[in-house]
């Protein structure tokens, strides 16, 4: 892992001002990497990281950017495999349908469409469904454009009227999000729409969910910073909403038409508030770890979701667990590259043992696991999140 390439960025990807370090994350774990389990644990998969904050446009971003090709090559996430992702996509669908009648359009383009789950919600309509993603999958109903999002060419769609462009939890992964927004804007005609959803920096800070920071999420947009970025390329926010069920999502509807621009109520997000909230979060997990240590050392966790390593960074007792239960069979007999516990099937769960819920990156995931454990009549369940 020492040969992973990365680049530095000290200027804000939105407004190009110099950012200021709000959070230092030394030896921060890389997520989404699994290896075969063995009794010998070789510690690997870490990179020093910093979260920078731009006070000019209220945008947060990572100082170090992992090689994009490395991330895509190791990307194993599919929307259909995550209940949290499905719930978020259904909320996104409802948001889109509140603003446009999709049936009246000719084309729906999903940038970062993954396994075409979102497009499948419209598969019975008479319109072209296009999935643009380096790992795009889906049936014959969908047009799959397997290209890196940094290289996507939307120019040839300019001549098509009546189109909708959507992108769900994608723009935060891009080192140069302004390039994608520019290409979207240049492909739009009057009457076309663009809908985006992504993790919200306001909600991450307000809800004290700094465990959701990961190397793969380069950008942490606020309403102020996405408004500035869209406006930079002639796009205007028509409406927006927050949804705290999945990563604290912010959704925006945008177009080239400035007539119906909504008043954006910008949250009170500042450098000092992020620093203060992070320190509160850090102290909370330090105290919680001390309390859980005598209970869970060599114990059992439940949920080997992708973000477990970042939670373990703040709650190190996770790395002292004997095992982590997960129902995804492809993970059995493996471990995270930077964590020692073996990932094992549900059959290895001792109902008499206390269980620490380790997959808490989204509310829906944490609640689903808690309900399952309660149904199994586990006597002692610990859900180590501040807000669920």
The pLDDT score that the predictor gives to residue 282 is 97
- Chain CA centroid to CA 373, Å: 25
Please give the structure tokens belonging to residue 249.
């999502």
What order do you get walking across the sheet with 107-111 strand by strand? 143-145, 128-132, 107-111, 163-168, 193-199, 249-255, 236-243
Residue numbers of the chain with a pLDDT score lower than 70? 1-3, 68-81, 258-261, 386-388
The phi and psi torsions of 184 (rounded to 5 degrees) equal: -65, -50
Of 188, 193, 200, 114, residue with least CA distance to 149: 114
Please give the structure tokens belonging to residue 358.
């380790």
- State the Cα–Cα distance between residues 227 and 236, nearest whole angstrom: 7
- State the Cα–Cα distance between residues 297 and 98, nearest whole angstrom: 49
Of 79, 146, 82, residue with least CA distance to 119: 79
The pLDDT score that the predictor gives to residue 70 is 66
pTM: 0.93
The pLDDT score that the predictor gives to residue 241 is 96
Q: What is the torsional sign of CA 149, 153, 157, 158?
A: positive
The pLDDT score that the predictor gives to residue 259 is 58
The pLDDT score that the predictor gives to residue 75 is 53
For 337-376, the pLDDT digits (tens) are 999 999 999 999 999 999 999 999 888 888 889 999 999 9
Determine the 3-state secondary structure of 197 from DSSP. Answer: strand
338-342, long-range: CB < 8 A, 24+ apart: 338/29, 338/30, 338/33, 338/43, 338/44, 338/45, 338/46, 338/309, 339/29, 339/308, 339/309, 339/312, 340/41, 341/301, 342/37
The pLDDT score that the predictor gives to residue 164 is 97
Residue tagged 């359009």 (tokens): 105
Please provide the distance, in angstroms rounded to a whole number, between the alpha carbons at the two ends of the chain: 34
Domains in the chain (CATH in brackets) are: 1-295 (3.40.50.150)
- State the Cα–Cα distance between residues 72 and 69, nearest whole angstrom: 5
- State the Cα–Cα distance between residues 322 and 295, nearest whole angstrom: 12
Burial class of residue 157, CB neighbours in 10 A (0-12, 13-18, 19+): buried
Determine the 3-state secondary structure of 83 from DSSP. Answer: helix
* Residue pair 277/337 in contact by the 8 Å Cβ criterion: no
């Amino acid at each position: 892992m020492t040969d992973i390439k990365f680049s530095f960025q000290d200027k804000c990807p939105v407004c190009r001002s110099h950012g200021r370090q709000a959070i230092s994350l030394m030896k921060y774990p890389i997520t989404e990497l699994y290896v075969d389990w063995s009794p010998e644990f070789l510690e690997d998969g870490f990179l020093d990281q910093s979260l920078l904050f731009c006070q000019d446009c209220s945008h947060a971003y990572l100082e170090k950017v992992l090689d994009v090709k490395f991330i895509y090559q190791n990307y194993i996430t599919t929307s259909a495999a995550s209940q949290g992702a499905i719930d978020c996509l259904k909320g996104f669908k409802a948001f889109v349908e509140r603003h446009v009648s999709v049936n009246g359009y000719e084309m729906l383009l999903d940038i970062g469409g993954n396994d075409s789950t979102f497009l499948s919600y419209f598969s019975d309509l008479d319109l072209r469904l296009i999935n643009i993603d380096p790992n795009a999958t889906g049936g014959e109903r969908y047009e799959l454009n397997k290209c890196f999002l940094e290289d996507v060419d939307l120019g040839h769609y300019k001549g098509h009227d009546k189109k909708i462009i959507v992108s769900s939890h994608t723009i935060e992964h891009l080192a140069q999000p302004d390039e994608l927004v520019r290409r979207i804007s240049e492909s739009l005609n009057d009457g076309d729409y663009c809908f985006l959803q992504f993790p919200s920096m306001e909600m991450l800070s307000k809800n004290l969910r700094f465990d959701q920071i990961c190397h793969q999420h380069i950008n942490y947009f606020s309403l102020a910073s996405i408004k500035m970025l869209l406006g930079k390329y002639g796009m205007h926010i028509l409406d927006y909403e927050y949804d705290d069920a999945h990563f604290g999502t912010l959704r925006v509807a945008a177009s080239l038409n400035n007539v119906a621009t909504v008043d954006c109520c910008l949250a009170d997000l500042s450098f000092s508030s992020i620093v203060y909230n992070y320190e509160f979060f850090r102290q909370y997990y330090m105290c919680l770890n001390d309390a859980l240590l005598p209970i869970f050392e060599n114990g059992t966790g439940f949920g080997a979701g992708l973000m477990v390593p970042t939670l373990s960074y703040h709650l190190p007792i996770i790395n002292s667990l004997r095992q982590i239960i997960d129902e995804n069979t492809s993970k059995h007999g493996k471990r995270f590259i930077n964590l020692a516990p073996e990932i094992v099937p549900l059959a290895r769960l001792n109902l008499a043992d206390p269980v620490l819920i380790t997959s808490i990156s989204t509310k829906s995931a944490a609640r689903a696991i808690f309900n399952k454990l309660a149904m199994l009549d586990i006597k002692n369940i610990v859900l180590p999140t501040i807000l669920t």
